[in-house]
């Protein structure tokens, strides 16, 4: 791991906020932390399956996209956009099969990595990690289930509204900032809801004219929360991701 007390403390802080690690016993987390290796992947890098099938990865900084593409049409759908504290392709821990799709670094990625067999050993030896792993796996499976349901059952406006609401910052001050996806291009947002850039751009401009959102150099600000909730047939915000 990279040397330096500040670097180590920053890494630990990310793990303490991670859904997978935050509830572990202190000694368990410390033992795991000491076995990680620090890596950096440059922005825009496409990662081959062979590079990740032997290692377990935790994102410290940056975003990673997991996507599927139709080779004939070039159409793309983003299955996950992972950020700090997230692990990716964790199904490998169970079946040993790497993700068959696109892995792309949307930003410069700082990662903690560990040999996959060591991570499997953690699951067997640490009950608290086993419980956290199952809960984290269930969360990802639910996200895939919701994506499949949205694609099959809802129109583009509803899918886009649900995407924005899922990534809405719940700050106590009432500030309504979109996180994780806020600086993505309209094409990238379209790939998260199974649409195309032109349709997403048209919908965002329509909402802007109606005063539901504001747009500033690609950044989206929600102005009328109730208006977006109406478009998803909800009266409450979805649980945060």
Q: Answer positive or negative: Cα dihedral of 182, 187, 188, 190.
A: positive
Element (H, E) at 110: strand 109-115
Reply yes or no on whether the pLDDT at 61 is more than 90. yes
pLDDT tens-place string over residues 108-166: 999 999 999 999 999 999 998 999 999 999 999 999 999 999 999 999 999 999 999 99
216 confidence band (pLDDT: 50, 70, 90)? confident
- Contact of 212 with 224, CB cutoff 8 Å: yes
Query: How confident is the model at residue 46, as a pLDDT?
Result: 92
Give the domains, in start order, of the chain with CATH numbers. Answer: 5-152 (2.60.120.10), 154-231 (1.10.10.10)
Cβ(206)–Cβ(231) under 8 Å?
A: no
| Mean pLDDT of all residues in 2-27 | 78
pLDDT number for residue 12: 87
pLDDT for the residue numbered 205: 95
Q: Percent of the chain beyond pLDDT 90?
A: 57
Which of 122, 102, 195, 210 minimizes the C-alpha distance to 156?
Answer: 195
For 206, what's the count of Cα atoms within 13 Å in the CB-facing half-sphere?
A: 13
- Report CA Rg, the chain: 19
How confident is residue 99, by pLDDT bands cut at 50, 70 and 90? confident
CA contacts within 13 A on the Cβ side of 119: 25
Residue 238 has pLDDT above 60, yes or no: no
Q: Tens of pLDDT along 166-205?
A: 998 866 555 567 889 988 999 999 999 999 999 999 999 9
Whole-structure pTM value:
0.86
Beta bridge partners of 103: 47, 66
pLDDT in tens, 220-237: 989 988 898 998 876 555
Backbone angles phi, psi at 198, to 5 degrees: -60, -40
CA 118 centroid distance within chain: 24
Taking the C-alpha atoms of residue 201 and residue 204, their distance in angstroms, rounded to an integer, is 5
């Amino acid at each position: 791991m990279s040397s330096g007390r500040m670097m180590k403390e920053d890494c630990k802080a990310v793990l303490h906020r991670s859904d997978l690690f935050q509830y572990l016993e202190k000694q368990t987390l410390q033992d795991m932390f000491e076995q990680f290796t620090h890596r950096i992947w440059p922005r825009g890098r496409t990662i081959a399956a062979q590079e990740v099938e032997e290692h377990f990865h935790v994102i410290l900084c940056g975003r990673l996209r997991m996507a599927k593409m139709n080779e004939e049409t070039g159409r793309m759908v983003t299955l996950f956009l992972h950020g700090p504290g997230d692990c990716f392709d964790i199904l490998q821990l169970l079946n040993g099969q790497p993700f068959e799709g696109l892995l792309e670094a949307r930003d410069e990625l700082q990662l903690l990595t560990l040999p996959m067999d060591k991570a499997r050993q953690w699951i067997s030896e640490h009950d608290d990690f086993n419980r956290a792993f199952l809960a984290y796996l269930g969360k990802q499976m639910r996200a895939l289930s919701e994506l499949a349901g949205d694609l099959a059952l809802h129109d583009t406006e509803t899918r886009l509204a649900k995407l924005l609401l899922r990534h809405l910052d719940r700050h106590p001050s009432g500030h309504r900032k979109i996180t994780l996806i806020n600086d993505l291009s309209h094409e990238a947002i379209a790939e998260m809801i199974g649409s195309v850039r032109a349709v997403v751009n048209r919908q965002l401009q329509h909402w802007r004219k109606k005063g539901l959102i504001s747009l500033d150099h690609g950044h989206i600000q929600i102005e009328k929360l109730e208006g977006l909730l109406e478009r998803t047939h909800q009266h409450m915000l979805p649980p945060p991701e």
